[in-house]
Amino acid sequence: MSLATATSPGSGKRALTKKANRQAILDAASKVFARDGYEVASIRDIIRETSLASGTFYNYFKSKEEIFETIAAESAKRFQPRLKIISSQATDLASYFRAAYAAYFDFLVEENDVTISNGGPHRAMIGVRIDTPEIKAISDQIRSDIENVLRITGPKHLDAGYLTAAAIGIARQMGDLMLSRRPLEPEVAAAFASRLMLAGIKDFAKHV
Amino acid sequence: MSLATATSPGSGKRALTKKANRQAILDAASKVFARDGYEVASIRDIIRETSLASGTFYNYFKSKEEIFETIAAESAKRFQPRLKIISSQATDLASYFRAAYAAYFDFLVEENDVTISNGGPHRAMIGVRIDTPEIKAISDQIRSDIENVLRITGPKHLDAGYLTAAAIGIARQMGDLMLSRRPLEPEVAAAFASRLMLAGIKDFAKHV
DNA sequence: GCAGATTGGTGACGAGGCGTCAACTTTCAT
DNA sequence: ATGAAAGTTGACGCCTCGTCACCAATCTGC
């Protein structure tokens, strides 16, 4: 072939197994994290679930932390488009919060067994809190959504940072609780959370 | 001495060094956790900061997790009495939430450098979330406070579990944000958080 | 105060994880 | 077909883990 070969980066056998190996490691990691918990799991545990050698892990990920973040980031990436749609369709605060919370709690239920469910048999007490770029991006988008929608509907001098923090804090903590209850009722949680936020914002609108 | 010796459990030299050793290990752990972050810190790192041998650690704590929880529990124990006072003095929701949030955010500011500030030089991305008995106790007390005060002032069929989760979620997330801002303004955050919660509850009171 | 009992500190040990790297195998390009 | 490049392998040295036999300091009863 002449220069600028037609082969896209992924057609050759080389690139193919590379992709497969990476995915195998990611799958193994998800499995092990879910089974043993993040704390307990070791890189060796992960690589043992594949047919690869220990050294190979380090060709793809720097550390246990990095592979965890990658998994979290991919999860966040799956959520982001839903939020985008909601933010583009929402016209006012009420519709935005209602839809966003519903989307998030539904997402939690969906990913519940796939995502890291802390506390397998070894039930680590110390949980995980991630701050990947993607999760930051989601947080940022929510803030910008809130700012945008406040600019139109809401009161002027409302601290969007705190409001975003509150919205996310509610989502996190209520999400945990929602998942621990049977039956799973993401809609109920979403109704509760959005109502709480909306009432608060309306109140802020009233007197400065 | 006759039976039932007058020596309280702490007078003898034996018990004295025991107490000192335990405290030395706790102090070293606080220091190392703050310096290196919980993830990176090892039991050896901790014990190396004392004049004790590695085996001695295990006479006092089972694991890194346990000593961390002990530290967290002691911190929670320092907070609990403040909350108790607030809950005994508060007559309605407004005064309770306002005071409770203020107490919590003040507490955060106070303990900020003492408590584990995640992310030293090695800035671990994965944070810590603790569930010691004491922290559970605080959470439970808040729930019971909310239930009590709802029984008097608030709407009947409001989900106290979700409301507590929301209150705590707001406190956690806003607390992080508050600490990252300069100047530190715990009162501003407390005003914001309590107003948000109160408005929400009032709204729930209106229509079922 | 002495002797025996007890408590608790010590540090070496085996097991196992960590990240690295030289040797090797497989694919790619010509 | 052949040399270059990429990627895999597993053994290696270092480290931490939790344990345990040993020992020294303290306590107890006389």
CATH of the domain at B98: 1.10.357.10
Strand C positions with any atom < 7 Å from protein CB? Answer: 7-12, 16-22, 26-30
CATH code of the domain containing B37: 1.10.10.60
Query: Which chain A residues are closer than 8 Å to B196 by Cβ?
Result: 166, 196-197, 200, 203-204
Q: What is d(CA B153, CA B148) in angstroms, rounded to the nearest whole number?
A: 9
Q: How confident is the model at residue A137 (pLDDT cuts 50, 70, 90)?
A: confident
- Amino acid, res. B50: T
- The residue segments making up the domain with residue B40 are 10-61
Cβ-Cβ contacts under 8 Å between A and B: the total is 123
Q: Which residue has the tokens 């310096």?
A: B35
3 state SS for B16-58? HHHHHHHHHHHHHHHHHHHHHCCCCCCHHHHHHCCCCCHHHHH
Q: Which residues touch strand C (CB under 7 A)?
A: A 1, 5, 7, 12-15, 17, 42-45, 54-55, 58, 63-64; B 14-15, 17-18, 21, 51-56, 59-60
Burial of B129 (0-12, 13-18, 19+ CB in 10 A): middle
Facing B199 at nearest CB: one of A169, A174, A202: A202
Q: What is d(CA B124, CA B147) in angstroms, rounded to the nearest whole number?
A: 38
| Residue B202 and residue B129 in one domain | yes
| Residue B102 and residue B162 in one domain | yes
Q: Please report the pLDDT score of residue A198 as a whole number.
A: 95
Cis peptide upstream of residue B9 (ω within 30 degrees of 0): no
Comparing CA positions, the residue from B76, B101, B82, B110 lying closest to residue B179 is B110
Of the residues A40, A139, A192, A204, the best mutation for testing chain B's interface (the one with the most B CB atoms within 10 Å of its CB) is: A192
Q: Across the interface, do B39 and A69 touch by the CB < 8 Å criterion?
A: no
Comparing CA positions, the residue from B1, B40, B2, B22 lying closest to residue B121 is B40
| Residue B191 and residue B103 in one domain | yes
Query: Which chain B residues are closer than 8 Å to A97 by Cβ?
Result: none
CA–CA min distance A16, chain B (Å) = 31
Look up the protein residue whose alpha carbon has the minimum distance to the C1' of C7: B14
Q: Please report the pLDDT score of residue A101 as a whole number.
A: 96
The residue among B61, B80, B103 that closes a domain is B61
Strand D positions with any atom < 7 Å from protein CB? Answer: 6-11, 15-21, 25-29
Residue A2 lies in a domain: no
Task: With beta carbons less than 8 A apart as the criterion, state whether A186 and A105 touch.
Answer: yes
Comparing CA positions, the residue from A2, A156, A198 lying closest to residue B207 is A198
* DSSP-based three-state secondary structure for A42: coil
| Residue B177 and residue B110 in one domain | yes
- Amino acid, res. B145: D
Residue A3 lies in a domain: no
Cis peptide upstream of residue A186 (ω within 30 degrees of 0): no
Residue A7 lies in a domain: no
Q: Measured CA to C1', what is the nucleotide nearest B52?
A: C9
Q: How confident is the model at residue B92 (pLDDT cuts 50, 70, 90)?
A: confident
| Residue B120 and residue B178 in one domain | yes
Q: Please report the pLDDT score of residue A187 as a whole number.
A: 97
Distance B18 CA to C5 C1' (A): 19
| Residue B118 and residue B44 in one domain | no
Domain count of the fold of chain A:
1
Residue B1 lies in a domain: no
Residue B23 CB in 7 A reach of strand D: no
Of the residues A170, A182, A207, the best mutation for testing chain B's interface (the one with the most B CB atoms within 10 Å of its CB) is: A170
CA–CA min distance A126, chain B (Å) = 5
| Residue B185 and residue B100 in one domain | yes
Query: Which chain B residues are closer than 8 Å to A171 by Cβ?
Result: 169
Cβ neighbour number for residue B86 with a 10 Å cutoff: 20
Q: What is d(CA B86, CA B190) in angstroms, rounded to the nearest whole number?
A: 14
pLDDT of B106 over the 90 cut = yes
Residue B59 CB in 7 A reach of strand D: no
pLDDT digits (tens, 9 = 90+) for A152-202: 776 777 899 999 999 999 999 999 999 999 999 999 999 999 999 999 999
Q: Please report the pLDDT score of residue B166 as a whole number.
A: 97
Task: With beta carbons less than 8 A apart as the criterion, state whether B187 and B178 touch.
Answer: no
Q: What is d(CA A90, CA B2) in angstroms, rounded to the nearest whole number?
A: 80
Residue B2 lies in a domain: no
Q: Which residue has the tokens 């043993």?
A: A36
The backbone torsions φ and ψ at residue B95, rounded to the nearest 5 degrees and listed phi first, read -65, -35
Structure tokens given for A193? 């959370």
Residue A5 lies in a domain: no
pLDDT of A127 over the 80 cut = no
Q: Please report the pLDDT score of residue B126 as a whole number.
A: 56
Q: Please report the pLDDT score of residue B32 as a whole number.
A: 95
Residue B64 CB in 7 A reach of strand D: yes
Q: Across the interface, do B129 and A127 touch by the CB < 8 Å criterion?
A: yes
Residue A151 lies in a domain: yes
Residue A14 CB in 7 A reach of strand D: yes
Q: What is d(CA B167, CA B149) in angstroms, rounded to the nearest whole number?
A: 14
Residue B181 lies in a domain: yes
Question: What is the arithmetic mean of pLDDT over A143-150?
Answer: 86
Q: What is d(CA A138, CA B42) in angstroms, rounded to the nearest whole number?
A: 33
**Segments in chain B forming alpha helices (H):** 13-36, 43-48, 54-60, 64-89, 93-111, 133-152, 160-180, 186-206
CA of residue B188 relative to chain centroid, distance: 21
- Of chain B, the end-to-end C-alpha distance in Å amounts to 69
| Residue B102 and residue B152 in one domain | yes
